[in-house]
Amino acid sequence: MIDTHSHLYLEEFDEDRSEVVERAKLSGVKHLILPNVDLETVPSLLATKKQFPDYCSVAMGLHPTSVGNDYQKDLQEIERLFLDENPVAIGEVGIDLYWDKTFVKEQIVAFEQQLQWAADLHLPIIIHNREATNEILSSLRKFVGKVTGVFHCFSGNETEAKTMLDFGFKLGINGIVTFKKSTLPQVLSKLNINDLLIETDMPYLSPTPYRGKRNESAYMLQTALKLSEIFEVDLSEIKRVTTKNAITLFQLTEVS
Ligand SMILES: [Zn+2]
């Protein structure tokens, strides 16, 4: 398996980062994608990549909740810091209208600017969407055919899923699908495993039975098990197809 959304570089893992990686390897996780948050997270992200160079790939981006008055300067600086880091994606980027709507205009401009990076660099994007599906889709519409990627932490309905897939995107599935009241299993049952990636969003969103605890890549297995139940196929098939989807999307030539 490949954890397509890991924040291994955050301080929650400062005490035991190597052990977390060991447990991930033991549970069959072969590679991690580390999406950036903002300027402050770049040093620890790049240090983590340096510590596990073959095990981690990085994504370059400015998270929508970090878009403020200085976002243009932040974008320039992030672009410069990632110049020699061979990012495999632009992320995580998007629009978040849940936490704060003050900078909605700036969030849209920043998102479209980073969509342009993705188009120019031929990189996929990792989308963060919180209560902003319509806004995100209307920005994406301008880039259909030029940019692909993944809707990280997908939790929408079937209509939204179909539009995202029509736009050439995959859906990132994490621990939410294991939650008791989640409607996601029902939505996913109408889709195809080929449309899905598995992720953790660690340290957040631990799957059942670890809900509420710090999440880590080793727990991806719970999400994969849930998918095998939803699609009524072997766990090995879920692992094989979602891994292949991740390798293809992020062009991870060195992972097999
Ligand atoms: Zn994230």
124-160 pLDDT, tens per residue? 999 999 999 999 999 999 999 999 999 999 999 999 9
Six-digit token string for 175 = 């621990």
Count other C-beta atoms under 10 Å from residue 212's C-beta. 8
Q: What is the pLDDT of residues 229-253, one digit of tens each?
A: 999 999 999 999 999 999 999 999 8
Tell how far the Cα of 13 is from the centroid of ligand 1, in angstroms. 15
Amino acid at 46: L
Tell how far the Cα of 34 is from the centroid of ligand 1, in angstroms. 8
- For residues 92 and 101, is the Cβ–Cβ distance under 8 A? no
For residue 116, pLDDT over 80 is answered with yes
Tell how far the Cα of 92 is from the centroid of ligand 1, in angstroms. 6
Rounded to two decimals, what is the model's pTM?
A: 0.97
Tell how far the Cα of 3 is from the centroid of ligand 1, in angstroms. 12
Tell how far the Cα of 63 is from the centroid of ligand 1, in angstroms. 8
Six-digit token string for 114 = 């980073």
- Residue 187 has a pLDDT of 98
Count other C-beta atoms under 10 Å from residue 195's C-beta. 19
CA distance 246 to 198: 8
- Residue 99 has a pLDDT of 83
- Residue 253 has a pLDDT of 85
- For residues 20 and 217, is the Cβ–Cβ distance under 8 A? yes
Confidence band (pLDDT; 50, 70, 90) for 255?
Answer: confident
Amino acid at 36: N
Six-digit token string for 157 = 């309905």
- Residue 256 has a pLDDT of 58
Tell how far the Cα of 190 is from the centroid of ligand 1, in angstroms. 26
- Residue 205 has a pLDDT of 96
Q: CATH classification of 2-250, choosing from 4.10.91.20, 3.90.1150.10, 3.20.20.140, 3.30.930.10?
A: 3.20.20.140
Query: Long-range contacts: 218-221, Cβ < 8 Å, 24+?
Result: 218/20, 218/23, 218/24, 218/26, 218/27, 218/29, 219/175, 220/1, 220/3, 220/27, 220/29, 221/1, 221/27, 221/28
Tell how far the Cα of 204 is from the centroid of ligand 1, in angstroms. 8
Q: What is the pLDDT of residues 194-215, one digit of tens each?
A: 999 999 999 999 999 999 999 9
- Residue 100 has a pLDDT of 86
Tell how far the Cα of 42 is from the centroid of ligand 1, in angstroms. 14
Q: Name the residue with tokens 């948050």.
A: 37
Tell how far the Cα of 5 is from the centroid of ligand 1, in angstroms. 6
Q: What is the pLDDT of residues 60-111, one digit of tens each?
A: 999 999 999 999 999 999 999 998 999 999 999 999 999 889 999 999 999 9
Nearest to 187 by CA among 163, 223, 158, 160: 158
Q: What is the pLDDT of residues 2-49, one digit of tens each?
A: 999 999 999 999 999 999 999 999 999 999 999 999 999 999 999 999
Tell how far the Cα of 40 is from the centroid of ligand 1, in angstroms. 15
Amino acid at 114: Q
Tell how far the Cα of 6 is from the centroid of ligand 1, in angstroms. 7
Tell how far the Cα of 20 is from the centroid of ligand 1, in angstroms. 17
- Residue 172 has a pLDDT of 98
Tell how far the Cα of 81 is from the centroid of ligand 1, in angstroms. 19
For residue 123, pLDDT over 70 is answered with yes
Tell how far the Cα of 158 is from the centroid of ligand 1, in angstroms. 23
